[in-house]
Structure 1
Amino acid sequence: MDYGFVDCHCHISALEFQQFLVPGSVCVLLVVTGPNVERSARSEDFRSQPSLFSSAGSSGCDPQNQVGVKTLVAVTEEVEEFSRVLRLQERYPDLVAPCLGLHPLQAAGGQRSVRPQIGLDFTPWCAPTQQDRDDQMKVFIRQLDVAMEMDLPVNVHSRSAAKVTIDTMRRRGISRALLHNFSGKPAAAMEAVEAGFFFSFPPAVCRNQQRDRLIQRIPLDHICLETDAPALGLHRNERNEPANITLSCSYIAKVKGQTPETVREVTTQNAYRLFSRASR
């Protein structure tokens, strides 16, 4: 089996990547990974872009510096992005796996929301009041219920809300979930591991050692890779790209005392177990 990388959380429809966007079409509301991803040569022009999928230096995972991103789980933040992701999946069916969802805090008064796509964000600037937190919870539960009805996994943001996010998913019967860019306490992570959930970490974890203990505690068979591109790269205020998934891979390998090749293989298997439709 070809163990290329799976970027489990990437905003490839973001305007920072607009040179690759296709004019929009009809939007379809999904919460998580949608249509099957079939193998096709039509993605070669997209994947061959050196600034997105090639590493400038040795990655530690691929000596020829061809990163080998096989699947991008393309997440959204707002309804306006749905059509862009679906068009990208239509154009690159072997590469882009749509993962469409809404965060409860949406744009108002014509201003574009910068909130994440599905989950709970209880930081003071996103949820300053109990009413704000209650409103987020209502929308989150609604999306979880849709995922249950459609028998699909969920790709979840949780910030300053790790335990309540995990507890809510367990109460709603969710068994397949990715907690992206997870920064909660190890004790909360172990509860998620018991529930069968997965975790992913972007290149930003390389900036310091703050999450080393967390990464050490989580079993490798519950870890996936992500970039969260164009955000959360190695350097602040620089556009992050799918090619930087090698940074996450190498850092997790270092923290866990594994080879980058092992981390790549295991995390790819994990990703396709979770997002099974993307592996077809």
Structure 2
Amino acid sequence: MGSGLGHYQPALTGIVAPFGWKVYRAGTTASTNADCVSFAESGGTERSVFWADQQSGGRGRRGREWTSPPGNLYVSILFRPERGLSAALTLGFVAGVALVDTVKIVAPTLDAKVKWPNDVLVDRHKVAGILLESAATGTICDYVVVGIGVNLGIGPPNPSVGLSPGAFKPGSLSDWMTPPPVGEFLGTFLSQLNAVYGNWCEAGFGPIRRRWEACATGIGSTVSVEKGGQRIAGVFSGLDESGAMLIDAMHVNAGHQCVRVTVGDVVFRGAGTVRESECS
């Protein structure tokens, strides 16, 4: 298993994983992403899954804290795609599509959506987040670790505290239903991820991009973004081949222009106001 990972054991009960996937479980860890990165750096194999009942140092994008009490899903997955790094980083969208598929299986009546770049919403509440970490040799990907947190049974105690103005509030599946056991949800998710990842490996990002756009919040709505010291307003029209946001912007002198956004503060006006930044 490697140095510092002795608190993980093979998950032999409570979960049914697809063939070829190895699931390791710990009661408590600081960060499943940090553990999975360590495993990757030591030569660990693809489709290895690190699952913890709780985290003492969970984190989201840009170093934000991810509250991690027992009762939710905290998992990180190692991929070694034979791709350039920019292509490999679209695996965040692969995970997002698989998460929406999973929610639709366990709760068919809920309205699950993806939100650019790496969140999942239910009824306009954030229930899941995705964090990617990677390494490359030159432009060729060595590995991508996809970290996922899903609020199944417990949401933040004070969901409005610390939110940016107008941001989607966090929630948990238990706000709408009795959630399945964590291991059952994880097994369903890995089955969906196995299928979507297989499609990505065979056909590239194109089919995944279309599926992501079909279940995305905010497409066709008005957004504004700070880019290069300018505030640009326009319509969120979808993703490009790298997963960047495309905005059909109106410029006074140039007419319509397609603006590509990978980093910036984006405000979704037609689908709720959200401050967002960084594509990966």
* TM range, smaller chain: under 0.3
**Higher-helix-fraction structure:** 1
TM-score by length of 1: 0.25
> TM-score under structure 2 normalisation?
0.25
The higher radius of gyration belongs to 2
The structure carrying a bigger strand percent of its residues is 2
Q: Considering Cα pairs closer than 8 Å and 6+ residues apart, tell me whether 1 or 2 has the greater RCO.
A: 1
